[in-house]
Amino acid sequence: GQNIDQPTEMTATEGAIVQINCTYQTSGFNGLFWYQQHAGEAPTFLSYNVLDGLEEKGRFSSFLSRSKGYSYLLLKELQMKDSASYLCAAKAAGNKLTFGGGTRVLVKP
C-alpha cells in the first residue's frame, strides 16, 4: 500500500527558512520526489532523493531517511515567489509515483 503524509499549510516570513516534512509508507520504495505547484499551474520538479542524506540545490535542499520513511524539503532565504504548494511523492517499482496532499506555503513580507 501507499501512504504519504505532509502538513496541510505553513506560513513563514520573507527571508526566513521553512522545513516541510513528509512521511511515507510505500511498498517497493525506490525514490522520493519533491514538486512545486503554483496556484492554477502544473507541478514542476524540484528534487529527487534515492539514497539517505541531504541533496542541496541552491536555496532548496531535500533530505531522505529510508529507514525512517521520512523526508524533508528545506527552503532557505524565502522569497514571495516561493508561495506555492509543495508536493511530496514516493516512487515505487515501475516508476509509479504516489503524491501526498501537498503543503501550501504562504510567504509573508
Partner 1 sequence: EAGVAQSPRYKIIEKRQSVAFWCNPISGHATLYWYQQILGQGPKLLIQFQNNGVVDDSQLPKDRFSAERLKGVDSTLKIQPAKLEDSAVYLCASSFLGLAATGELFFGEGSRLTVL
Chain-centroid distance, C-alpha 22 = 7
Candidates 53, 58, 94, 109; binder of partner 1 (CB under 8 A) is 94
Among 24, 26, 71, 91, binds partner 1 (CB under 8 A): 91
Whose Cβ is closer to partner 1: residue 34's or residue 69's?
34
* Helix, strand, or coil (residue 30): coil
Bridging pattern class, strands 84-92 and 32-37: antiparallel
Choose one: 13-21, 66-74, 76-84, 98-106; the region binding partner 1 (CB under 8 A).
Answer: 98-106
User: Does residue 12 touch partner 1 according to CB under 8 A?
Assistant: no
| Alpha-carbon gap, residue 90 to 109, rounded angstroms | 33
87 binds partner 1 (CB under 8 A): yes
| Adjacent-strand bridge partners of 94 | none
Please choose, from the candidates 44, 16, 30, 18, the residue with its C-alpha nearest in 3D space to the C-alpha of residue 98: 30
As given in the structure block, the three cell numbers for residue 102 are: 501537498
Which cell goes with 14?
A: 520573507
To partner 1, the closest distance from the beta carbon of 88 in angstroms equals: 8
* Contacts (CB under 8 A) with partner 1, residues 28-67: 31, 33, 41-45, 48, 50
Give the footprint of partner 1 on this chain (CB under 8 A).
4, 31, 33, 41-45, 48, 50, 87, 91, 94-102
